[in-house]
Structures are given as C-alpha cells and as structure tokens.
Structure 1
C-alpha cells in the first residue's frame, strides 16, 4: 500500500487521488498510518463483502433472535443434564 503524509495530501492532492484511483492509499500523520483513501467503488465493494454476523451481550439480544435461540439452548442443557445422570 502506498503511503502519503497529510502534508503531501495537502500539497499535491492530485497525485494522491490518482494513486488512490489505482488502489487504496494510507494517509499518515506523525509518521503513523491514520486514514485510508480509496475510490467510492472500492469502498462500496468492501462494504458489500462485510460480515453480517452480529455479537450481542446477554441483555442486548433482539427478542426475535432470543426466541429462536432459547429453545435450542434449553434442549442442549437438558441433554447435558441427562448425560450426567
């Protein structure tokens, strides 16, 4: 990944954006990567590939999802208790 400083971005935005047309570029600030500049099409493609799975805390689970999960958890717990008897 090509890197440009924020100063380079301000001084020569044309060169930086032309590089971002080819592939995403890192924008550094104080010598550390801070931002990524990419085309909107690249960004949209990346968003479309995102993982739709979600993680919820015990009290955050949506009711419809909990209604699907709880019976299966109850079944597994009952099976586990039966194997210990």
Structure 2
C-alpha cells in the first residue's frame, strides 16, 4: 500500500487521489498510518462484503470448520495437562 503524509496530501492532492484510483492509499500523521483513501466504488464493494467473522455456539460450527479446529484444541488441552502435570 502506498503511503502519503497529510502534508503531501495537502500539497499535491491530485497525485494522492490518482494513486487512490489504482488502489487504497494510507495517509500518515507523524509517520503513523492514520487514514485510508480509496475510491467510493472500492468502499461500497468492501461494505457489501460485510464482516466475515462469525461466532458459533456449541455444536453449531460447520463440520469443515470443526475438522480444522478440533485437532488444535486437543493439542492445546494436552499441552495444558502436561504443564499442570
């Protein structure tokens, strides 16, 4: 991701917005990324995707997800049992 300072944004908004036409750009303050500038179409597309995270209750997780998680949970439980010993 290309970065521009707030000073660069104020001095040369055309360059910054042209860069944001290609991909989102970070706007920095005091060398720290603080904002993201992107096209409105990209923003709308991002909003439409929504938040892919989901919380599952006991026995609600899809089988393919449980198949990935169960072995790691078993390993962590076994590791905890070894430590308590």
CA RMSD of aligned residues (A): 1.6
For each residue in 1:11-63, what CA deviation from the matched residue of structure 2 results, as whole angstroms up to 9, or x when unmatched? 000000000000000000000000000000000000000127788xxxxxxxx
Q: Which runs of 4+ in 1 moved over 6 A?
A: 52-55
Q: Which residue of the partner structure matches residue 40 of structure 1? A: 40
Q: What residue is the counterpart of 2:16 in the other structure?
A: 16
Aligned position for 1:50: 50
Q: Does 1:31 align with 2:26?
A: no
The 1-side partners of 2:35 and 2:7 are apart by 13
In structure 2, runs of 5+ residues without a counterpart are: 56-85
Give the TM-score taking structure 1 as reference length. 0.60
Structure 1 gap ranges (5+)? 56-85
Rg larger in structure = 1
Q: 2 CA distance for matches of 1:4 and 1:32?
A: 10
Report the number of matched residues.
55
